[in-house]
Amino acid sequence: MNKAWWKEAVVYQVYWRSFFDSNGDGVGDLDGLIMKLDYIKDLGVDVIWLNPMFQSPDKDNGYDISDYYQVMEKAGDMKVVERLINEVHQRGMKLIMDLVVNHTSNQHPWFIESKSSKDNPKRDWYIWKDGVDGKEPNNWRSYFHPTPWEYDQTTNQYYFHSFAVEQPDLNWKNPEVRHEIYQMMRFWLNKGIDGFRMDVINLLAKLEGFPDTETPYNLSYLGNNPGIHEYLQEMNREVLSAYDILTVGEIPFVTPEDGLLYVGENRNELNTLFHFEVADDMKTWDMITFKQIQKRWYEGLNGQGWNSQFLNNHDHTRQVTRYGNDHIYRVQSAKLLATMIHTLPGTPYIYQGEEIGMTGVKFNHIEDYNDIAMKNKYLEEVAKGKDSTQVLKDLQLLSRDNSRTPMQWDNSENAGFSVGKPWIKVNPNYVDINVEADLNSHDSIFKYYKKLIALRKEHDVMVYGDYEDLLEHDDKLYVYSRTLNDITWIIMLNHSDDEVELRLNDMYAQKENTLIITNYADVNEEESLVQIRLRPHEARIYQI
């Protein structure tokens, strides 16, 4: 396995509109992020992933871009972006941006031209089709709508959108589109950014002919279609290969074997990927499923491709709520989940606020929610005659707004996020869960993350060690090893609310061992590995 800086890095994701508001308009901004860079540096991370801050009508919180070369006014301006890049580099960190090129905003000038007439030179920059018998061209569904086709009166045709109506898909079959995007990518790379997180990059190639699918309304046909690897190999040749950067593809609905086609060391496409098996398969925690997913991906990438490890981001609710225990064992659970993500094979990602154990949120009215995906789903379900209170309740756990509430800096008004009215409600538990409290506590979740990140710098086994699951069928304990040369780490995780006994086989139990880290203060360092009692949500790492 070749070494690389991005394999050894820890990435911190900043959803800037919820991070820190510097001008009191109630929305986080890039000046605010600059003011908090020392906080991020103190954690010890190497890379910041910045969610889209480009010009946008903001229907999907920046994922509907109307100008790739302008900065969204509420985020700042080009001068602030240039200052941000410089300030991040001065602190020895790197910055990757979000590349959103499967679709643009319907307010992008390209789309406005394209929809103006059938013979406009940019008509073929997007995907237009005639209806069939007065209806949509096929029976597919979009991520955010019952159909991915929107009728346009002007030219009596439908255009294709994998997401919201306001997000028309670009036509990647058109070389003019591809070369326009490559030019834009070079513009930002030449400004000094250190790579891209590539938004739903496996959707760029569409199923030829857009045929009806046997199972209407599933989404899997949207991705991994013939042609996608040619596009990414061309993107690599034309742009990526000229820079020493991190490229991480967001690749929903992909198997490990197909995932390897995107990130294989000899594929000349991307460095690494986010797959979504956990988020898609596990609505709540299921230890056995999680272990099977990890095993499948470890075997599927087979030492030739690099994984990324995350449990939450701006689209998926906060891990301690969805997969852990966000009440009596919140602190232990947050530390246990971090131990897992930072010791599994692949680059670990920290979503802002997870380092202080921020939790999901439940708002009582649909008006309190901002997420277009959730609001569209709510309207779709209520239109079917379902009880609106029950629909809201059903959508709350998975609403993306769970992870988009403002960063909780301290216990002052609005959690110290803004002196203005925040664009989305602050989680009321900010009075107890906030950065200031964690910085002032010696065994806080923040301090534990710092230790984990520091361990990665000291111990290559955490990055490059071979992985083996030692208790595949246990539904409470997750115990696995990482081995590099003559160093073996045993990671023990009791992912339950019960005290559980662990018996390791003789191969490990008899050996000398050193306790590397644990999330309970009072562990007896002399305890042998023959028979260990792990308390609720207790995590330990031993070196043997």
Residue (321 or 339) nearer to ligand ISL, CB:
321
Minimum CB distance to ligand ISL smaller for 18 or for 444? 18
Q: Following DSSP, what letter does each residue of 304-329 receive, concatenated?
A: TBEEEE-S--SSS--HHHHTS-SSTT
Residues 445-474 within binding reach of ligand ISL (CB under 6 A): none
Taking residue 123's Cβ as centre, other Cβ atoms within 10 Å add up to 18
Tell me how far apart the alpha carbons of residues 249 and 262 are, in angstroms, rounded to a whole number.
8
Residue numbers 45-84 binding ligand ISL by CB under 6 A: 60, 63
Q: Please, are residues 484 and 501 in contact by the beta-carbon 8 Å criterion?
A: no
Among 12, 128, 160, 163, binds ligand ISL (CB under 6 A): 163
Tokens 């699918």 label which residue? 213
Q: Quickly tell me which residue has 């994984």 as its tokens.
A: 307
Residue placing its CB nearer to ligand ISL in the complex, 61 or 513:
61
> From CA 113, how far away is CA 95, in angstroms rounded?
33
Please, which of residues 287-326 interact with ligand ISL by CB under 6 A? 314-315
The binder of ligand ISL chosen from 29, 150, 169, 199 (CB under 6 A): 199
Which of 41, 59, 291, 400 is the binder for ligand ISL (CB under 6 A)?
Answer: 400
Collapse the DSSP code of 364 into the 3-class scheme (helix H, G, I; strand E, B; otherwise coil) and give the result.
Answer: coil
State yes or no: residue 397 binds ligand ISL (CB under 6 A). Answer: no
Give, in degrees to the nearest 5, the angle at Cα 36 between 31 and 357. Answer: 130
Nearest CB to ligand ISL, comparing residues 29 and 58: 58
Among 14, 200, 356, 426, binds ligand ISL (CB under 6 A): 200
Cβ at position 314, least distance to ligand ISL in Å: 6
Nearer CB in complex with ligand ISL: 163/172 = 163
**Catalytic: which of 166, 169, 199, 326?**
199
- Least distance (Å) between residue 54 CB and ligand ISL: 12
Closest to 396 (Cα-Cα) out of 379, 378, 381, 414:
378
Our answer to whether residue 230 is catalytic in this structure is no
For ligand ISL, give the closer residue by CB, 397 or 439: 397
Q: Is 436 a catalytic residue?
A: no
Asked whether position 373 contacts ligand ISL by CB under 6 A, the answer is yes
Q: Is 143 in the site for ligand ISL (CB under 6 A)?
A: yes
Q: Which of residues 100-119 bind ligand ISL (CB under 6 A)?
A: 100
On whether the CB atoms of residues 128 and 155 are closer than 8 A, the answer is yes
Round to whole Å and give the CA distance between 164 and 132: 21
Q: How far is the CB of 224 from ligand ISL (least distance, A)?
A: 14
Least separation in angstroms between residue 241's CB and ligand ISL is: 25
Distance CA 319, CA 357 (A): 9
How far CA 4 is from CA of 237, 259, 271, 451, in Å, comes to 19, 19, 10, 22
* Burial tier of 27 (Cβ tally within 10 Å: 0-12, 13-18, 19+): buried
Q: Which residues are catalytic?
A: 199, 250
Q: Which residues in this chain contact ligand ISL in the complex, by CB under 6 A? A: 60, 63, 100, 143, 163, 199-200, 250, 252, 314-315, 373, 400
